[in-house]
Amino acid sequence: MKSLTSPILKAFAVLLFVLMACAPWTVVSDFIGIVAVPTLFLCVGYFFNPSSVQSPAGFVEKRFRQYYLPFLGWAVLFLLLHNLWFPIGLLSHNGLNPAHSYSWHEFSQRLWSIGLNMSDYDELFAAPFWILRALLVSSIGFMVLFILGRKMSRFENDKEVGWAIFVVSIALLLWQVLGGLQVTGVAGGGYRELVGLLFISIGFLFRQYRPTIDIDWRTYLLCLCVWVSVALFYPVTMIPKADILHFIALPIPAFAAYVLLLGAAELVGKNENMLTRALVYIGRHYLCILAFHLLAFKLVSMLVVSVYGIEWQRVAEFPTIQTGRWWDFTWLLYLVVGVGFPLLVRYIYERLTAGTQQSFGKWGDMLFDLLLFIVATILRILKAILLGFYHFFLHFFRALAEFLRASNPKDE
């Protein structure tokens, strides 16, 4: 059931994420914000295969292909197009969400940051790209801790390793939140990445105990009550930084909502029909939707300004144009286009490149292998330099010791 449940869950998550961006009612966004992004991390842990850590290099390579390469390509694309959006009104220097044109220096710095630190991408069109960075960092971090835990004799099985990672992630998050610390080198301070690590460990533990847990309608009702209560009285999301209350309030309702979505995904996945196939297709291309749904929203915004006679400058509003009419259902059109347009473009691209995809794949493999070769070469050079310095200072201090010993007056 994994082959269907996983993409269906991701489809639910991305549909909720797009709905959160276009929903005109705050209460809807409060409900969705608790579960939309955490579901993606919980999925990583729930469907984590312990045998995959037998080849750490293969695991890391797969994650780089899955998250880093799409991030790099899409972030650079939006960077190249950024200054072109102003003449056609998709971005504006004034208004509710003012943007600014990039100078050559800023363009160059952002290009470096995108490639080396997965940061400084377009703040508006590429706003959700932090999810790809967090998924990459937290999944690799989970793998490293899982391998280390397996090598420790005190842990008898994978469940105990999972609990150890859970405790470590909780401890690190409390230390960071209470101490106001940042993970050096990780854009945004690393809070989201550590929360992602926590959710991955929760998902992994849930999968380990799932066969022994009797989940019935009462369980789902309890999960729904927890989700609704927090959403109404203390709505929380995976914000870049959080206080202790915000941190404590997020994991339990997010997990409760995930249990509901997982049950729904398993129910839908039992029968193969048009709905199932559509959800599976959406789930397998959820990253594409995350990357381009904000750009797709602009198509609807153009239609809205034309229908309602609104000034064209409002097309630059992010993420959507709010007309203020209670009977306005343009959010539904935003949702359909935000999901459908990226999938349509991808489908057309796949059809047009069907005969050359293998060639593109080979070129992609060659470029990735070249990147790995460059990184490995740099590491070898650094290792040689460090070893050279080590041997130089070792011989230097040995010679100095010999000199001091030879010139010691006690020896005379």
Q: What is the pLDDT of residues 126-180, one digit of tens each?
A: 999 999 999 999 999 999 999 999 988 888 899 999 999 999 999 999 999 999 9
Q: Which residue has the higher pLDDT, 200 or 271?
A: 200
Q: Using 50, 70 and 90 to split pLDDT, how confident is the model at 394? A: confident
Half-sphere exposure at residue 115, Cβ-oriented, CA atoms within 13 angstroms: 9
Under 8 Å between Cβ of 315 and 305: yes
Query: CA-based angle 42:23:340, to the nearest 5?
Result: 75
Q: Using 50, 70 and 90 to split pLDDT, how confident is the model at 27? A: confident
Residue 107 has pLDDT above 90, yes or no: yes
Residue 293 has pLDDT above 60, yes or no: yes
Q: Which residue has the higher pLDDT, 248 or 371?
A: 248
Residue 1 pLDDT: 46
Q: Using 50, 70 and 90 to split pLDDT, how confident is the model at 402? A: confident
Picking from 172, 227, 222, the residue whose alpha carbon sits closest to that of residue 197 is 172
- As a whole number of angstroms, the distance between CA 257 and CA 234 comes to 15
Question: How does pLDDT run across 229-281, given as a tens digit for each residue?
Answer: 999 999 999 988 889 999 999 999 999 999 999 999 999 988 888 899 999 99
Query: CA-based angle 288:258:4, to the nearest 5?
Result: 55
| DSSP secondary structure letter of residue 103 | P
- As a whole number of angstroms, the distance between CA 171 and CA 90 comes to 44
Question: How does pLDDT run across 338-363, given as a tens digit for each residue?
Answer: 999 999 988 887 787 766 655 555 55
| DSSP secondary structure letter of residue 67 | I
Name the least confident of 200-214, 249-263, 370-384.
Answer: 370-384
Residue 166 pLDDT: 97
Residue 412 has pLDDT above 50, yes or no: no
- As a whole number of angstroms, the distance between CA 347 and CA 337 comes to 14
Q: Using 50, 70 and 90 to split pLDDT, how confident is the model at 95? A: confident
Maximal CA-CA distance, the chain: 103
One-letter amino acid of 131: I
Residue 399 has pLDDT above 80, yes or no: no
pTM: 0.85
Residue 364 pLDDT: 56
- As a whole number of angstroms, the distance between CA 319 and CA 301 comes to 9
The dihedral of CA 125, 128, 130, 132: what is its sign? negative
Mean pLDDT, residues 198-211 taken together? 95
Residue 43 pLDDT: 96
Residue 109 has pLDDT above 90, yes or no: yes
Mean pLDDT, residues 205-213 taken together? 93
Residue 334 has pLDDT above 70, yes or no: yes
CA distances from 1 to 34, 198, 395 (A): 26, 25, 63
- As a whole number of angstroms, the distance between CA 302 and CA 311 comes to 10
Treating both helix axes as pointing N-terminal to C-terminal, what angle do 274-284 and 286-308 enclose, rounded to 10 degrees?
A: 100
Question: How does pLDDT run across 114-127, given as a tens digit for each residue?
Answer: 999 999 999 999 99
Residue 296 pLDDT: 95
- As a whole number of angstroms, the distance between CA 364 and CA 347 comes to 20
